[in-house]
Every structure is written in structure tokens, then in C-alpha cells.
């Protein structure tokens, strides 16, 4: 049996212009508000509660991870949310972290058939963080589903009482009576926002075992053999099937990430939450999604995440039965 090891893809954080992190760009990103893929059937506030403290979770990251050759998953994004209460992070307990999967076919009601342009949109109007194109209202604090409006101004919506209180204490108490004075648009609840850029891990190659000349000669001979066996009509038919829009979209997909298997603890330092003593923490987060990416329409599907923590030798010496 000839088994090929899976490709290892590494993720790196980079500063990016805000327009690149909006839903039409199909971003992979960390922090900020979620760039929701499907514009309907968002996870409910109850689904996004921490199972320990029952407070709303914060958006941690999302990875655009389409499955090539599977039309129902032509667009596919995995979203990770985590609790910001440090006491909820107990050893190997994943109750404070949740994962959701969203997927859409290429033809859908939310996005164009062709890939997004590489250039910044000429429309410089700011994105509306209060509402999706479908009409669903979003929480000002966390960017998740928010159907609870401020009872005084009715201008701002929230996912629940807790985030309404957070915003009231932060700025809304002063802004509520005069919305025209609103200047602060960044929620203190959100993690700092970055683009998540990926690239394959470089493999170590033993040059002594590879004769590059022979490899190139064999590749050239194989290419000549294949081309020589095809008639002009055959080549024209192949070209017709490889349409221009498909080539463009394949080039776009080469730039995006594959399945997010692991979230390493180094991310905590970039988010400025890695501190001594009590803090949100993990050793490794391993994300597991449906192996066939089953079709659930435009719903957000809950997936499994495994949280593994480091246990120091000091703890083991004091508690040999742990």
C-alpha cells in the first residue's frame, strides 16, 4: 500500500486592509468580528454560550477551507469561538470552545459566481457591522446574531443582556441620546484582527539521493509522449473544458488555507492574552469536521474540537495518580 503523508500547512498572522477581511473576500482571519459565510441561519446566542459560565463566547478565528471537487462545499469556512473567562479553562476541558462549519455551492444567493477581485473595491463606504445582506441583525459587541435592540434609541442591537451592558458601560450611555456623536466603532470585547496567511511546510530534501538531471529528462520525455499522443481535436476539446472562469477560481483557491487541524498556543501571544497565572490557555486545539462535509443547506453545523493542555512534571510529582 503506497500511502502519501498529508501536506502540512502552516498559518501566519499578517496585518491587512479591512476590506480584505470581509465576507466577499472569503477570508481566513483571526479576531475582529466573524466574516459570516452563509448570511442566514447563524448560530443562536444560546449555541455560542460557554458551557461553563454561560457567558457569550468571543470569535477567535476562521479558516476558508473548501473541498476541491465537491460542489456543495465549493465555499466552506470553519469558525472557532472561545470564552474569555480565564476560570473556564480547566485541563483538557473543551466546554469553553466551540466550532461551526458553513458551506455553500458555487451558485448561491449571497456571492457572485466568479472569484473576488484582487483590487480594493472602488466603493469606499464602510461595511455595515450591524446587519447582514440577508437582513439579519448583528450584535454590536461580538458581531454574532443580535435581535435585542436598545430600548431607548432602537439604533443598536445585541445578542443578549450581557453584551448590552458591556456596550452601555463602554460608550453607549453617552451616545444613546445623541447617536450622531458616535465615534467609537471598535468593540472592547473583540480580539485584535489579523489576516491568516498559509503556506505549505517546507520538506527537507536529501540532495545526495536525487539526480535532478534524470528527473528533468524523464519529465520532459513524459510531457512529449503525452502531447504527441493527443490529436489537435483532443487538445481543443481539453481547452474548451478548461474555461477561463474556472482557471481564475482555481488560482484564487491556491491562495487560501486548507482544513484547520490544529491551533497552537503561540496564537495567545499574538492576541495579548498569554500571561502568567490565570488566563485563557490551551496546549493544542484540534479541530475535527465531518469527513464527507455532509450537506445541511445554509445552516451552521456544530463540529468537534479537542483541547489538550500541557501538564507540568511538577504537578505529576505531587499528584502521581493524575
Q: What is the pLDDT of residue 238?
A: 43
Phi, psi dihedral angles at 223 (to 5 degrees): -60, -45
Q: What is the pLDDT of residue 218?
A: 45
Residue 67 and residue 78: Cα distance in Å, rounded?
12
**Is the separation of the CB atoms in 34 and 79 below 8 Å?**
yes
| Mean pLDDT, the chain cut into blocks of 10 residues (322 residues total) | 60 89 94 96 97 96 92 95 93 94 95 90 71 92 95 92 92 78 74 89 58 46 43 50 53 47 87 68 90 88 91 48 42
**Is the separation of the CB atoms in 111 and 134 below 8 Å?**
no
* Antiparallel, parallel or unpaired: β 284-288 and 301-308: antiparallel
The 3-class SS string of 50-104 reads: CCCCCCECEEEEEEECCCCCCHHHCEEEEEEEECCCHHHCCCCCCCCEEEEEEEE
Phi, psi dihedral angles at 314 (to 5 degrees): -65, -40
Residue whose grid cell is 498559509? 198
Q: What is the pLDDT of residue 206?
A: 56
Q: What is the pLDDT of residue 129?
A: 79
Residue 28, C-alpha cell as written in the block: 481566513
Burial classification of residue 139, based on how many CB atoms lie within 10 Å of its CB (0-12 exposed, 13-18 middle, 19 or more buried): buried
Q: What is the pLDDT of residue 226?
A: 40
Amino acid at each position: 500500500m503506497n500511502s502519501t503523508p498529508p501536506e502540512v500547512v502552516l498559518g501566519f498572522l499578517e496585518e491587512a486592509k479591512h476590506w480584505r477581511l470581509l465576507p466577499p473576500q472569503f477570508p481566513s482571519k483571526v479576531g475582529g468580528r466573524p466574516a459570516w459565510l452563509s448570511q442566514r441561519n447563524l448560530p443562536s446566542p444560546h449555541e455560542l454560550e460557554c458551557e461553563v459560565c454561560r457567558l457569550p463566547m468571543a470569535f477567535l478565528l476562521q479558516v476558508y477551507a473548501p473541498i476541491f471537487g465537491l460542489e456543495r462545499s465549493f465555499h466552506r469556512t470553519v469558525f472557532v469561538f472561545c470564552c474569555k473567562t480565564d476560570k473556564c479553562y480547566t485541563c483538557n476541558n473543551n466546554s469553553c470552545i466551540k466550532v461551526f462549519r458553513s458551506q455553500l455551492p458555487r451558485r448561491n444567493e449571497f456571492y457572485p459566481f466568479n472569484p473576488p477581485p484582487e483590487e480594493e473595491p472602488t466603493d469606499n463606504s464602510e461595511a455595515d457591522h450591524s446587519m447582514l445582506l440577508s437582513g439579519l441583525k448583528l450584535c454590536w459587541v461580538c458581531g454574532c446574531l443580535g435581535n435585542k435592540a436598545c430600548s431607548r434609541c432602537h439604533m443598536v442591537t445585541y445578542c443578549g443582556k450581557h453584551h448590552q451592558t458591556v456596550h452601555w458601560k463602554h460608550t453607549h450611555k453617552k451616545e444613546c441620546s445623541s447617536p450622531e456623536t458616535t465615534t467609537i466603532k471598535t468593540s472592547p470585547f473583540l480580539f485584535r484582527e489579523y489576516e491568516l496567511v498559509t503556506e505549505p511546510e517546507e520538506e527537507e530534501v536529501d540532495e545526495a539521493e536525487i539526480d535532478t538531471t534524470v528527473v528533468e529528462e524523464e519529465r520532459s520525455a513524459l510531457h512529449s509522449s503525452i502531447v504527441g499522443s493527443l490529436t489537435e481535436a483532443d487538445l481543443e476539446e481539453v481547452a474548451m473544458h478548461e474555461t477561463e472562469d474556472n482557471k481564475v477560481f482555481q488560482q484564487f483557491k491556491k491562495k487560501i488555507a486548507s482544513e484547520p487541524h490544529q491551533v497552537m498556543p503561540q496564537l495567545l501571544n499574538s492576541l495579548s492574552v498569554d500571561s502568567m497565572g490565570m488566563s485563557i490557555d490551551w496546549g493544542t486545539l484540534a479541530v475535527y469536521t465531518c469527513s464527507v462535509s455532509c450537506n445541511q443547506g445554509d445552516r451552521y453545523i456544530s463540529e468537534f474540537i479537542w483541547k489538550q493542555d500541557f501538564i507540568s512534571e511538577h504537578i505529576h510529582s505531587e499528584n502521581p495518580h493524575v
